[in-house]
Structure 1
């Protein structure tokens, strides 16, 4: 698989490092010669000094035989232009863009469906807010996420001594819970990942991941001794972009939110 990355900053560097270790063919384009030199010295990747919004730089990178383009510079304009040009030069290449400007959020759908035809748009602040909101759905959870457009959820719960399944072998789950037994996907114990089998037992202190249909989440949590209490009031420390986005998200769901911010001018903006 060949991947072209636009941007050799911290985000681009870390992505390139991960992909290079997975033996992917990686090409990185950036205008900063020092950032390019750092990549060339540290990683087994091809580096091109140039702008990701330049057709010649994209052509030199071999965009026409590239599987995925990742536009992750600090400039939304360059990222959008890179995807636009890639769409013209290589329509079959999948395009991912990092876009941070809040004003572009309402246009994400159009940027995907129409030109420049971006397949995936990532706004870091929006993703953080989504993660926080997911964790708020299950305050006891250490981790949570979903599959199949939200129809299936995975949740990570830390077991304590009072948990109904602490010390219980998986082979006993059916006897204890019947067909409603929780489906355990993984157990994290002292940093070790355990794929649970019938003879394995859960222990207090384990981080247990289970999977269920979203509609059955509350029922499964009760089996684990966890009850969901709806969040009604939230205090947000920090009125930056993430804090503001989170407050808007909560307000849309009629959850009362208060923000603590030390910058008086920012407070006036938020109010």
Structure 2
């Protein structure tokens, strides 16, 4: 697929590198010549310096041959203009990043589609919604729903006292014959791998699991996780993510929001009805203690500063907060943040990539999640007629190395994948895959054409 990415920094670069690893032809347009030179020195990506909303620049990028034009600059107006101009010049599909959640309303989407903006993504809105979902399953480190929750991805840290410690997957399955979940990957010592039946869980492993809703209680029990009933929340940072999270939760939960900027506090006080707004520096331990941090069920740090978010979460954990969530925008810090004890990491680059990546696949992808901290995706694909994946049991399939089938949804009923399960046409199949395996996985799900 020919893809043009318009960006102004890390989001665009992350997308470009990720999509290049999936064998797409990438051109990136960015106004910063020095940053593009750095990118050129480490990749084979074609770069063009300039303003992406300028028709001449887009023509230089051969936008008329683009299967997909993605605009992810910080200024939403530039993104919308880039997408509209690109569509007019021949791009097949366009995607624009926006920051205003009002643009996500159906009426606004239809308006933008009328001028050539096919899809809109708001990373801040998705981040807030992800936080809310995480608070519903507070014992999990990461969650993601497939097919409206018929199957879910859970990432759990294995505690030292967990039942599964020092047990192989085969032993666990033998002792628990009716499991409604399946481990699809393990992250250990900064390396992810797909486990086989003989692999043994170790303390501090991060286990990625596909589960049915009825399997969640048993999953938590075997992982020695106690579900946290979240009532009291402290949010640090009154930007779009913090504000949206508070707005959606303040009617049912007790929320305190700490913001360092006094003028922003005044604006927040006008927008939020039941949230207590506190003007102060969350790095001040005395302030945290004065605001009853020890009785907080969840502490959420979503300022624009990654270091502040990590540091305040560590203070909150030490002072007694039960769950910590940090916005970590520097991808290289994700592994560090997880290793020092922060429960959950939110990253807007990965959120943007998860949304956009599903439009870059040749097979029919219905949902996709880019995982935090490891270079892998969990994809929900629809099995097409006459595709190689149907009419055979899973154990008879030639599953590409670096991929694993975790579950299947058929006619609103979920199944945990086993070797004897047979995938049918129109089934939605949840697959874990490393980048190099993704294109091969797609071929399994596409209609095979005979010449």
C-alpha distance in 2 between matches for 1:270 and 1:178: 52
2:207 matches 1:208: yes
The residue aligned with 1:270 is: 268
Q: The residue matched to 1:231 in structure 2 has which SS? A: coil
State the TM-score, normalizing by the size of structure 1: 0.84
In structure 2, do the counterparts of structure 1 residues 29 and 268 end up closer, same or farther at CA, with 3 Å as the change threshold? same
In structure 2, do the counterparts of structure 1 residues 206 and 109 end up closer, same or farther at CA, with 3 Å as the change threshold? farther
The residue aligned with 2:120 is: 121
Tell me whether 218-227 or 199-208 shows the greater mean CA deviation. 218-227
- The aligned runs of 1:176-191 (5 Å cut-off) are 176-180=175-179, 182-191=181-190
Cα drift, residue 74 of structure 1: 2.0
The residue aligned with 2:12 is: 12
The residue aligned with 1:171 is: 170
Work out the number of aligned pairs and report it.
269
C-alpha distance in 2 between matches for 1:207 and 1:41: 34
Cα drift, residue 153 of structure 1: 0.9
Cα drift, residue 161 of structure 1: 2.8
The residue aligned with 1:259 is: 257
Cα drift, residue 244 of structure 1: 1.0
C-alpha distance in 2 between matches for 1:118 and 1:227: 45
Cα drift, residue 209 of structure 1: 1.6
C-alpha distance in 2 between matches for 1:161 and 1:38: 43
Deviations 1:44-77 (A, max 9, x none): 3333344322333222211122122110122211
Tell me whether 28-37 or 58-67 shows the greater mean CA deviation. 28-37
Cα drift, residue 211 of structure 1: 0.7
C-alpha distance in 1 between matches for 2:65 and 2:149: 34
In structure 2, do the counterparts of structure 1 residues 180 and 82 end up closer, same or farther at CA, with 3 Å as the change threshold? same
Cα drift, residue 258 of structure 1: 1.5
- The aligned runs of 1:148-167 (5 Å cut-off) are 148-167=147-166
Tell me whether 52-61 or 117-126 shows the greater mean CA deviation. 117-126
The residue aligned with 2:64 is: 64
C-alpha distance in 2 between matches for 1:64 and 1:199: 52
Cα drift, residue 36 of structure 1: 4.8
C-alpha distance in 2 between matches for 1:53 and 1:162: 56
Cα drift, residue 15 of structure 1: 2.9
Deviations 1:109-158 (A, max 9, x none): 62588324544432232232233223222222222222234332111111
Q: Is the 8 A contact 1:112 1:120 kept in 2?
A: no
C-alpha distance in 1 between matches for 2:205 and 2:107: 40
Q: Is the 8 A contact 2:103 2:109 kept in 1?
A: no
Q: Is the 8 A contact 1:152 1:213 kept in 2?
A: yes
Tell me whether 20-29 or 165-174 shows the greater mean CA deviation. 20-29
Cα drift, residue 256 of structure 1: 2.4
Cα drift, residue 35 of structure 1: 4.8
Cα drift, residue 215 of structure 1: 5.2
C-alpha distance in 2 between matches for 1:192 and 1:180: 26
Cα drift, residue 216 of structure 1: 4.0
Q: Is the 8 A contact 2:64 2:90 kept in 1?
A: yes
The residue aligned with 1:26 is: 26
State the TM-score, normalizing by the size of structure 2: 0.53
C-alpha distance in 1 between matches for 2:194 and 2:40: 39
Q: Which runs of 5+ in 1 are unaligned?
A: none
C-alpha distance in 2 between matches for 1:124 and 1:90: 26
Q: Which runs of 5+ in 2 are unaligned?
A: 270-451
Q: The residue matched to 2:176 in structure 1 has which SS? A: helix
The residue aligned with 1:226 is: 225
C-alpha distance in 2 between matches for 1:35 and 1:194: 33
2:234 matches 1:235: yes
Q: Is the 8 A contact 1:169 1:201 kept in 2?
A: yes
In structure 2, do the counterparts of structure 1 residues 170 and 100 end up closer, same or farther at CA, with 3 Å as the change threshold? same
